[in-house]
């Protein structure tokens, strides 16, 4: 795939979804809700609809953050492989797609905040055009007093704040309020996830993210984060999460990534920890769930690698359902 065709923007995703819906109706179910600013937030469920869903293993993937486009492109590329047997660049996929389609049901939310993504100045962040400080000012917006990056909070209102730029991470949910999709239950992300968890009992939940790995001497460019509630979960869930995480780490190494070997929950301070528990606690207590982070905005991890490492994480997750 040529990088200028990297399908991160909503108009590109919309076009592919229409094409898939038309060409592969047996294998894809398209659902969406409409954001306040009218963009469609998809839940795309890929499975062989001629085989009953009841006994299928089920997985959900989500991409909460507009400044982290490799998760979107990774999801889109994986769906394309399942439907067509080819990667987006036309290369042949060696996935056992027939078996996956017959025995699993996979729901993808490839971009939870297309209204934010639309305001992104680039298709991908490769570290050649923006410093991390500049990148963070795109992500969070610009504070009118400090002229530095705006704060990261679950929710804020333009009745009370006047950032000089509205950060792309934020989703506008009504005429004056903005939410961080991963930290507020009124986001399109949380509403769609809740809707689908009422519909199916998922066996695995994987959240796809990117981060900068700023200031690390070991040049790490990938990591798994365990749930914020990990140490409070049942023994069975703790083991499942850890084993799944280590399998992805192992596969990343083979693919040339430099994952952080030490897999653990991220030590969020308050109020972030409470926001996460409020949004995700119910899910973490019932379903194996982990988070993927691939390096963003750094020359050490160009977009082709970002996509490859996303693909590896998605693939390992799906293939472990077949075992």
Contacts with Zn ion by CB under 5 A lie at 65, 68, 209
Nearer of residues 58 and 117 to Zn ion, judged by Cβ: 117
Work out how close the CB of 183 gets to Zn ion at its nearest, in angstroms, rounded to a whole number: 10
Burial (CB count <10 Å: 0-12, 13-18, 19+), residue 290: buried
Work out how close the CB of 162 gets to Zn ion at its nearest, in angstroms, rounded to a whole number: 25
Nearer of residues 106 and 169 to Zn ion, judged by Cβ: 169
Work out how close the CB of 63 gets to Zn ion at its nearest, in angstroms, rounded to a whole number: 8
Q: Which residue is nearest to Zn ion (CB)?
A: 209
Query: Which strands, in side-by-side order, build the sheet including 57-62?
Result: 28-34, 40-46, 104-109, 57-62, 204-211, 289-295, 222-226, 264-265
Nearer of residues 20 and 150 to Zn ion, judged by Cβ: 150
Nearer of residues 65 and 272 to Zn ion, judged by Cβ: 65
Work out how close the CB of 234 gets to Zn ion at its nearest, in angstroms, rounded to a whole number: 26
Nearer of residues 104 and 289 to Zn ion, judged by Cβ: 289
Work out how close the CB of 48 gets to Zn ion at its nearest, in angstroms, rounded to a whole number: 32
Nearer of residues 212 and 316 to Zn ion, judged by Cβ: 212
Nearer of residues 24 and 273 to Zn ion, judged by Cβ: 273
Work out how close the CB of 294 gets to Zn ion at its nearest, in angstroms, rounded to a whole number: 10
Work out how close the CB of 37 gets to Zn ion at its nearest, in angstroms, rounded to a whole number: 20
């Amino acid at each position: 795939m040529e990088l200028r065709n990297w399908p991160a923007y909503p108009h590109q995703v919309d076009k592919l979804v229409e094409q898939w819906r038309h060409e592969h109706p047996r294998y894809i179910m398209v659902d969406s809700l409409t954001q306040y600013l009218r963009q469609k937030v998809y839940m795309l469920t890929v499975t062989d609809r001629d085989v009953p869903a009841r006994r299928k293993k089920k997985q959900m993937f989500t991409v909460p953050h507009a400044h982290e486009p490799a998760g979107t492109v990774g999801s889109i590329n994986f769906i394309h492989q399942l439907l067509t047997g080819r990667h987006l660049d036309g290369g042949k996929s060696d996935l056992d797609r027939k078996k996956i389609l017959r025995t699993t049901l996979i729901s993808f939310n490839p971009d939870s905040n297309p209204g934010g993504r639309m305001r992104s100045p680039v298709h991908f962040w490769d570290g050649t055009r923006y410093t991390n400080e500049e990148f963070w000012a795109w992500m969070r917006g610009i504070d009118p007093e400090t002229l530095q990056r705006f704060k990261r909070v679950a929710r804020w209102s333009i009745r009370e704040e006047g950032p000089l730029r509205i950060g792309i991470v934020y989703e506008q949910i009504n005429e004056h309020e903005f939410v961080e999709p991963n930290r507020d239950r009124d986001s399109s992300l949380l509403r769609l996830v809740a809707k689908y968890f009422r519909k199916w009992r998922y066996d695995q939940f994987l959240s796809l993210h990117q981060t900068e790995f700023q200031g690390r001497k070991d040049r790490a460019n990938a990591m798994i984060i365990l749930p914020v509630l990990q140490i409070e979960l049942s023994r069975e869930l703790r083991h499942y999460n850890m084993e799944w995480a280590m399998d992805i780490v192992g596969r990343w190494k083979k693919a040339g990534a430099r994952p952080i070997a030490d897999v653990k929950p991220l030590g969020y301070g308050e109020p972030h920890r409470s926001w996460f528990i409020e949004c995700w606690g119910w899910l973490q207590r019932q379903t194996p769930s982990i988070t993927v982070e691939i390096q963003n905005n750094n020359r050490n991890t160009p977009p082709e690698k970002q996509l490859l490492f996303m693909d590896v994480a998605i693939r390992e997750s799906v293939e472990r359902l077949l075992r």
